[in-house]
């Protein structure tokens, strides 16, 4: 059973949620550079987002956070977390059924 793989996936999803939450929290912070979290295999890499930021009337850079994109990401991460929880529950139910058969 691959419970460990699902637990790792949930940790990665949690990290990606934290990155999006930070981007959302700083959407109004002038000069804030949003981050991007990308999963590659079982690893997460976090890097500065390459999107250009606008400037305010004083010529200072604005945040390059994109509220719409981050909200979509949060919805996807929430669904992914729920799916992994469902898989772990199913695996647990299967193991319990197998243990009952052994008795």
Alpha-helix residue ranges (DSSP H) falling in the chain: 3-25, 67-102
Check whether 59 has a pLDDT greater than 90: no
pLDDT tier at 4 (50, 70, 90 boundaries)?
A: confident
Cα distance between residue 44 and residue 99, in whole Å? 36
pTM to 2 decimal places: 0.79
* Backbone angles phi and psi of 27, in degrees to 5: -60, -30
Q: Which residue reads 């790792």 in tokens?
A: 8
How much is the CA Rg of the chain, to the nearest whole Å? Answer: 19
Which tens digit of pLDDT belongs to each residue from 9-20? 899 999 999 999
pLDDT of residue 40: 87
pLDDT of residue 60: 80
Q: Which residue reads 């992914």 in tokens?
A: 80
Average pLDDT in the 48-67 region?
83
Check whether 1 has a pLDDT greater than 60: no
């Amino acid at each position: 059973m691959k419970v460990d793989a699902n637990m790792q996936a949930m940790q990665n999803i949690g990290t990606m949620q934290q990155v999006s939450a930070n981007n959302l929290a700083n959407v109004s912070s002038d000069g804030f550079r949003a981050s991007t979290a990308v999963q590659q295999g079982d690893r997460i890499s976090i890097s500065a987002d390459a999107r250009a930021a606008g400037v305010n009337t004083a010529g200072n850079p604005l945040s390059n956070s994109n509220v719409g994109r981050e909200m979509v990401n949060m919805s996807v991460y929430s669904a992914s977390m729920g799916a992994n929880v469902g898989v772990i529950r199913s695996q647990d139910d299967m193991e319990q059924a197998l243990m009952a058969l052994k008795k």
